[in-house]
Amino acid sequence: MSDSAPIPPILLVGCGRMGGALLAGWIERGLAPSVAVDPARPSAPPGVTLVPAVADIQAGFAPASVVLAVKPQNAAETLPDYARFAGTAVFLSIMAGRTIGGMRRLLGPRAAVVRAMPNTPAAIRQGVTVACAGPGVSPGQRALAERLLAAVGAVAWVEDEELLDAVTAVSGSGPAYVFLLAELLERAAIEEGLPPDLARLLARRTVAGSAALLAAGDEDAAALRRAVTSPKGTTERALDVLMAEDAWPALLSRAVAAAAARSRELAG
């Protein structure tokens, strides 16, 4: 399948923040007439038919992929309605925690399922997604799944599905950790007497600029940190607090472990 050819018809189930980001990315790259199912969304872009329920999909519509972007808590009640597409379409799931085996039990043994975990920078096409292909996924279906995910950022694959719980905890939930850093940095700046507008500007631009610097090269994050840390300077004094044994290193490890544990819980 050529990347210059239109993306084949897609059935998108759920048009929330992530589903909407994926849809926008596909449209930018050229999307054949497709269908989105979402009872809450008021409208859809041109070329996409929006319906409130699977029963409203026009007879004869044959998607190349069914993209599952609903909340994982709703999987058990939602997925059986789409079992009729098993055997023809590849199911691409971005539901946190929901395992390939669990989805196939709901969709039927013929279902070819790719499980993936994108993150919210997909909204600006700067996301990163890790995917795992289940039994029966053909090379062509895997290529289509990669094409769909690549529309919103970088894509990597793993063979061991259990790794996706850690992926969810690191990159799936990770943007929230970064936003929290900006939030707390802004608050600390205000506590030190800076005007709120200036505190917000400094916090946001510092986080965004540092991330851009990290992304611009291959230099290790630790090396970049050391480069800005002068001996006996202000940064070193701050890092003595942040890198204490019971501070950031321990807290972030605990946070990621908690998120990974929750991802595993959602499988049940």
Share above pLDDT 90 across residues of the chain, in percent, rounded to a whole number = 93
Q: 143-193, pLDDT tens digit by residue?
A: 999 999 999 999 999 999 999 999 999 999 999 999 999 999 999 999 999
Distance between CA atoms of residues 236 and 231, nearest Å: 7
Q: The sheet that has 127-133: what strands, in order across it?
A: 48-51, 34-37, 10-13, 65-68, 90-93, 112-117, 127-133, 153-157
The residue assigned the tokens 């840390």 is 229
pTM: 0.91
Distance between CA atoms of residues 166 and 132, nearest Å: 13
**Residue 3 confidence (pLDDT):** 64
Show the tokens assigned to 97. Answer: 């925690």
The average pLDDT across 14-40 equals 95
Distance between CA atoms of residues 17 and 258, nearest Å: 23
Q: Are 57 and 9 in contact (CB under 8 A)?
A: no
Say what the alpha-carbon torsion angle 99, 100, 106, 112 is, to the nearest 10 degrees: 160
Question: In whole numbers, what is the pLDDT of the chain averaged over residues?
Answer: 95
**Residue 41 confidence (pLDDT):** 87
Relative to beta strand 112-117, strand 127-133 is antiparallel
Say what the alpha-carbon torsion angle 249, 252, 258, 264 is, to the nearest 10 degrees: -100
All domains of the chain, ordered by start, with CATH?
A: 10-161 (3.40.50.720), 174-266 (1.10.3730.10)
Show the tokens assigned to 217. Answer: 């090269």
Closest CA to 37 of 268, 23, 194, 225: 23
Q: Are 15 and 38 in contact (CB under 8 A)?
A: yes
Under DSSP, the state recorded for 34 is: E
The average pLDDT across 252-256 equals 96
The average pLDDT across 183-211 equals 98
Q: 216-233, pLDDT tens digit by residue?
A: 999 999 999 999 999 999
**Residue 268 confidence (pLDDT):** 58
Relative to beta strand 127-133, strand 34-37 is unpaired
**Residue 155 confidence (pLDDT):** 98
Q: Are 6 and 109 in contact (CB under 8 A)?
A: no
**pLDDT higher than threshold 90 for residue 4:** no
Q: 108-145, pLDDT tens digit by residue?
A: 999 999 999 999 999 999 999 999 999 999 999 999 99
Residue type for position 167: V
Q: Binning pLDDT at 50, 70 and 90, where does residue 29 land?
A: very high
Show the tokens assigned to 264. Answer: 């595993």
Share above pLDDT 70 across residues of the chain, in percent, rounded to a whole number = 98
The average pLDDT across 17-21 equals 94
The average pLDDT across 79-93 equals 96
Q: Is 93 left (phi over 0), alpha (psi -120 to 50) or beta?
A: beta
